[in-house]
């Protein structure tokens, strides 16, 4: 498809107009649109042309959009996109790189560099490698796949290839995010097939003073976890920890949990979608202390980094398990997998 330079310029000018018009309204626009029904427009036999389309969007669509991109939106814990992050997002679309094949483009190296920077920012060991995802839900889904592959590896089963029929695994968690429960369903474990470990607020041992201090009520009770692990006879064990829970903003004790994971040979996934940002204030000795011992971590950039929705991150110390759980061979894909596309680019 070839557009003339003038047409490209017309489109860019229109984009810039829409951007300014929309951003100008963000401080006053309703955060929920009154008009969210589908537009009753018949499928046209002929296109209306770009300028009319642009006008149509400005007149009919813009007025009925939410101000979720602004500072007054509290519907979810997503942040609005900064203009400079929007610019970056537009560039990604403009360049439109196909990165399924390592070596075609510098794009994958930039992705790996950025992930390495995030590890540096959060003071996580550079042994964590990973991938950007469409949000924390997708990262939690990759976590379920990778943990599943790990359990299979312990039991001599390549789950990606032969399924999980013979897999013997128990999953433990206290207050998993809804997206983690959904992911357990999508990954074939079953949404209800995990053992709830009581939270600290349930335990009599929790003293009232601690509760009044808003101590981590939704967090996992460590003694209860150890009891459950001791009783567990499954061949593989997976622990899903929170840093932090979305309703109570409570952090699991990751030092204690990771020590138990080591003792009982269990996989540790930490959903740190928005809670990781506490690490920027308190460093490695704060509420996320111990997250560095996790096998995998979920992060969410569209929570506090003000990048456009959607953008999450999945990190793991066991990249080969992630690869094994997701890769497939086909004649048209033969030989294109390139390990270097997964390795941090040192040249950038």
Ligand X SMILES: *Cc1c(COP(=O)(O)O)cnc(C)c1O
Q: Are 250 and 217 in contact (CB under 8 A)?
A: yes
Residues 42-61 that bind ligand X (CB under 6 A): none
Q: Which of 119, 246, 266, 294 binds ligand X (CB under 6 A)?
A: 246
3-state secondary structure of 43: coil
- 119/270 with CB nearer ligand X: 270
Q: Are 300 and 314 in contact (CB under 8 A)?
A: no
- 73/337 with CB nearer ligand X: 73
136 part of the interface to ligand X, by CB under 6 A: yes
279 part of the interface to ligand X, by CB under 6 A: no
Q: Candidates 109-117, 130-138, 143-151, 279-287 — which segment interacts with ligand X by CB under 6 A? A: 130-138
Nearest residue to the partner ligand X, using Cβ: 135
Residues 6+ away with beta carbon under 8 Å from 34: 64
3-state secondary structure of 269: strand
- 151/180 with CB nearer ligand X: 180
- 242/325 with CB nearer ligand X: 242
What are the start-end ranges of the H helices in the chain?
5-25, 50-56, 83-95, 107-121, 136-154, 159-162, 178-186, 208-212, 222-231, 254-264, 279-282, 301-304, 319-326
- 102/248 with CB nearer ligand X: 248
274 part of the interface to ligand X, by CB under 6 A: yes
Q: Which of 271, 278, 292, 295 binds ligand X (CB under 6 A)?
A: 271
Give 36: exposed, middle or buried? Use CB within 10 Å, 0-12, 13-18, 19+: exposed
- 142/222 with CB nearer ligand X: 142
Q: Which of 79, 152, 290, 312 binds ligand X (CB under 6 A)?
A: 312
- 124/138 with CB nearer ligand X: 138
3-state secondary structure of 150: helix
What is the total count of residues that contact ligand X (CB under 6 A)? 14
Closest CA to 115 of 288, 270, 311, 254: 311
Q: Are 115 and 312 in contact (CB under 8 A)?
A: no
Residues 6+ away with beta carbon under 8 Å from 33: 64, 65, 66
129 backbone dihedrals φ, ψ, rounded to 5°: -125, 165
224 part of the interface to ligand X, by CB under 6 A: no
Minimum gap (Å) between residue 125 Cβ and ligand X: 22
295 part of the interface to ligand X, by CB under 6 A: no
137 part of the interface to ligand X, by CB under 6 A: yes
Per-residue string for binding with ligand X, 77-116, x by CB under 6 A? x---------------------------------------
Q: Rounded to whole angstroms, how far apart are CA atoms 95 and 108?
A: 13
- 266/273 with CB nearer ligand X: 273
Give 269: exposed, middle or buried? Use CB within 10 Å, 0-12, 13-18, 19+: buried
Sheet holding 129-133, edge to edge: 129-133, 312-316, 296-300, 267-271, 236-242, 169-173, 195-196
Per-residue string for binding with ligand X, 140-179, x by CB under 6 A? x------------------------------------x-x
Binding site for ligand X (CB under 6 A): 77, 135-137, 140, 177, 179, 246, 271, 273-274, 300, 310, 312
């Amino acid at each position: 498809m070839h557009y003339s330079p003038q047409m490209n310029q017309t489109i860019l000018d229109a984009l810039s107009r829409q951007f300014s018009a929309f951003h100008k309204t963000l401080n006053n626009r309703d955060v929920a649109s009154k008009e969210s029904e589908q537009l009753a427009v018949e499928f046209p036999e002929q296109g209306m042309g770009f300028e009319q389309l642009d006008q149509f969007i400005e007149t009919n669509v813009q007025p009925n959009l939410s101000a979720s991109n602004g500072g007054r939106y509290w519907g979810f814990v997503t942040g609005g996109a900064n203009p400079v992050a929007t610019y970056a997002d537009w560039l990604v679309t403009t360049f439109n790189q196909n990165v399924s094949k390592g070596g075609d483009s510098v794009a994958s190296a930039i992705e790996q560099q950025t992930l390495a920077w995030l590890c540096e920012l959060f003071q996580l060991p550079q042994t964590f490698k990973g991938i950007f995802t469409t949000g924390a839900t997708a990262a939690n889904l990759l976590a379920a796949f990778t943990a599943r592959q790990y359990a299979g590896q312990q039991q001599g089963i390549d789950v990606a290839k032969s399924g999980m029929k013979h897999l013997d695994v128990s999953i433990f968690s206290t207050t998993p995010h809804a997206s983690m429960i959904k992911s357990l369903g999508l990954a074939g474990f079953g949404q209800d097939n995990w053992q709830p470990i009581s939270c600290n607020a349930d335990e009599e041992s929790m003293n009232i003073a601690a509760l009044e201090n808003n101590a981590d009520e939704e967090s996992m009770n460590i003694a209860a976890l150890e009891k459950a692990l001791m009783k567990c006879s499954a061949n593989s064990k997976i622990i899903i920890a929170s840093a932090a829970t979305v309703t109570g903003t409570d952090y699991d004790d990751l030092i204690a949990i990771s020590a138990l994971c080591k003792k009982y040979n269990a996989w540790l996934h930490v959903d740190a979608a928005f809670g990781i940002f506490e690490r920027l204030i308190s460093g490695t000795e704060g509420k996320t202390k111990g997250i560095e011992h996790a096998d995998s971590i979920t992060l969410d950039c569209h929570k506090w980094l003000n990048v456009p929705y959607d953008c999450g991150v999945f990190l793991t110390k066991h990249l080969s398990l992630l690869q094994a759980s997701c890769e497939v061979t086909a004649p048209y894909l033969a030989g294109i997998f390139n390990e270097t596309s997964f390795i941090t680019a040192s040249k950038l």
